[in-house]
């Protein structure tokens, strides 16, 4: 555990110069990639200091993505639960239907700065793949998406979307043929094509500086939410809730609030069939280890072999979590709670009926946690839930789980 007596005055200054958040993070990559990682870091630092980079990022977020996304007061859900007021941060209304696009815009601008001419990415449910293929189309760059063969089979609409957008979709046949294996294959491809290829990682994981730069690009969520809640309620919220797979939407909402001690923060892990069964809750059921370029909590056995994750939500179906979340967990700043497939499925339907918003199954996990927490708080309290994506992509999975043939 991190020595809490030596915590910095601000929790927003990480990572350190070696890319570590406490003991987590780092750059655990093959030597072939190391020079590229260092080059990416140099370019990212230069971009951060360049007002033109921020101006182009902001322009695209406003005019292409459609930001700012609304902060919606979910009045009927609030009444139904009978406790704290619930606001939804509507990332589902972004172009391509989720928060993923924020990060893709930032990274493709970096790719352009670095003179890279090809884009690759991994994807699980296909949301990050679609977002990556979208920005690649916008910038006219060839794009290859690595996707586990199992996910290709169960996410056909997104596979077709990516192809329409001009991307090549590689069905990965190794391992369990899901997100973890797609990431392995993307890393293998990258190592063989480092000279011209930019890897757009979809979450706050991977080797430094990815967890930092993805967080920075996604922090627009929390920056907006902060301004919006101050406008609506003239004060900060009492609780933030967001779903956590790798954790990019969550860190994006959380990060601008980390130094506000009166704001409680809850990350929601996918507990799948339950923590004693198959699940994807790396913090609740894993321990620290090294995978995909960073040290973080991982689902693994006693020999350090990675075990398969399970969640009804393909976007949460990953055996790890971003390193900054592991750190925030260990220092106790963020509380991480598990939500099962069944709970998420119930909340998916409840939000759809009460608010007319079909949330992504990922986001439904956060709604389920809000249902648990809101009734325990007074009506004067405020909760912001990150509605990280829309659920259109999940209707087949939900129909299947409900025994409905489409």
Partner 1 sequence: MTRFAAAFAKPHPALVAFITAGDGDTAANLDALVAGGADVIELGMPFTDPMADGPAIQAANLRSLAKGTTTADLFAIAAAFRQRHPDTPLVLMGYANPMTIRGGDWFAAECAKAGVDGVICVDVPAEEDPELGPALRAAGVDLIRLATPTTDAARLPDVLNGASGFLYYVSVAGITGQQQAAQASIEDAVARLKAATDLPVAVGFGVRTPDQAAQIARVADGVVVGSAFIDIIAEHGDAAAPHVEAFTRTLADAIHSAKEIAA
Query: Would you tell me which residues interact with partner 1 (CB under 8 A)?
Result: 18, 26-36, 174-175, 180-181, 184, 187-188, 191-195, 289-293, 298, 300, 302-306
Q: How far is the CB of 189 from partner 1 (least distance, A)?
A: 9
Residues 41, 85, 91, 122: which is the catalytic one? Answer: 122
In the complex with partner 1, the residue whose CB is nearer, 123 or 178, is: 178
Distance CA(280)–CA(124), nearest Å, equals 13
CB 287 → partner 1: shortest distance, Å?
A: 8
- Scan for tokens 């990572």, then name that residue: 15
Strands 85-90 and 71-73: antiparallel
Question: Which CB, 286 or 338, lies closer to partner 1?
Answer: 286
Nearer to partner 1, 78 or 184 (CB): 184
- Nearer CB in complex with partner 1: 92/122: 122
Nearer to partner 1, 19 or 391 (CB): 19
**DSSP bridge pairs for 296:** 289
Least distance in angstroms from the C-beta of 227 to partner 1:
38
- Sort residue 82 into left (φ over 0), alpha (ψ -120 to 50) or beta: left
CB of 184 to partner 1, least distance (A): 5
What does the alpha-carbon distance between residue 390 and residue 262 come to, in Å, rounded to a whole number?
A: 30
Q: Could you tell me whether strands 264-272 and 168-172 are parallel, antiparallel, or unpaired per DSSP bridges?
A: unpaired
Q: Could you say which of 89, 248, 388, 393 is catalytic?
A: 388
CA angle, 200 as apex, 360 and 242 as ends, to 5°? 30
Active-site residue, selected from the candidate residues 89, 100, 350, 393: 100
- C-beta of 31 vs 231, nearer to partner 1: 31
Tokens coding 313: 């939500």
DSSP letter assigned to residue 44: H
Distance, CA of 55 to CA of 73 (rounded, Å): 30
Q: Which residues make beta-bridge pairs with 172?
A: 148
Residue 258, exposed/middle/buried by CB under 10 A (0-12, 13-18, 19+)?
buried
What is the nearest approach in angstroms of partner 1 to the Cβ of residue 144? 16
Least distance between partner 1 and beta carbon 16 (Å): 12
Beta carbons within 10 angstroms of residue 286's beta carbon: 23
Query: Is 54 considered catalytic here?
Result: no
CA distance 147 to 124: 6
122 catalytic? Reply is yes
Angle at 257 between CA 4 and CA 246, to 5 degrees: 80
Residues designated catalytic: 100, 122, 388
């Amino acid at each position: 555990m991190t020595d809490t007596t030596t915590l910095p005055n601000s929790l927003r200054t990480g990572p350190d110069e070696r890319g570590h958040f406490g003991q987590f993070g780092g750059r655990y990559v093959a030597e072939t990639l190391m020079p590229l990682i260092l080059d990416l870091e140099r370019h990212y630092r230069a971009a951060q200091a360049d007002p033109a980079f921020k101006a182009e990022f902001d322009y695209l977020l406003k005019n292409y993505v459609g930001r700012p996304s609304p902060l919606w007061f979910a009045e009927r859900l609030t009444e139904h639960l009978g406790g704290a007021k619930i606001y939804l941060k509507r990332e589902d209304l972004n172009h391509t239907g989720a928060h993923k696009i924020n990060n893709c815009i930032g990274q493709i601008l970096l790719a352009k700065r670095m003179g890279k001419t090809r884009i690759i990415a991994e994807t699980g449910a296909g949301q990050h793949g679609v977002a990556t293929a979208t920005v690649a189309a916008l910038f006219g760059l060839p794009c290859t998406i690595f996707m586990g063969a199992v996910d290709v089979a169960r996410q056909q609409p997104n596979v077709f979307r990516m192809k329409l957008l001009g991307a090549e979709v590689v069905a990965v046949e190794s391992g369990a043929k899901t997100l973890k294996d797609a990431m392995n294959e993307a890393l293998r491809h990258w190592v063989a094509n480092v000279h011209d290829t930019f890897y757009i990682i979809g979450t706050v994981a991977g080797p430094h500086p990815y967890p930092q730069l993805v967080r920075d690009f996604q922090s627009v969520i929390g920056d907006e939410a902060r301004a919006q809640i101050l406008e609506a309620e003239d004060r900060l919220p009492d609780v933030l809730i967001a779903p956590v797979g790798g954790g990019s939407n969550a860190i994006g909402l959380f990060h601008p609030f980390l130094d506000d001690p009166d704001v409680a923060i809850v990350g929601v892990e996918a507990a799948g069939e339950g923590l004693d069964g198959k699940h994807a809750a790396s913090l609740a059921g894993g321990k620290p280890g090294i995978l995909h370029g960073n040290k973080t909590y991982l689902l693994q056995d006693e020999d350090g072999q990675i075990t398969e994750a399970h969640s009804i939500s393909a976007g949460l179906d990953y055996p790890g979590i971003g390193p900054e979340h592991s750190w925030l967990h260990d220092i106790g700043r963020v509380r991480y709670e598990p939500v099962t497939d069944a709970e998420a499925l119930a909340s998916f339907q409840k939000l759809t009926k009460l608010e007319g918003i079909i949330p992504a199954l990922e986001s439904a996990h956060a709604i389920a946690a809000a249902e648990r927490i809101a009734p325990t708080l007074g009506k004067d309290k405020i909760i912001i839930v990150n509605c990280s994506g829309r659920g259109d992509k999940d209707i087949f999975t939900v129909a299947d789980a409900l025994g409905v043939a489409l």
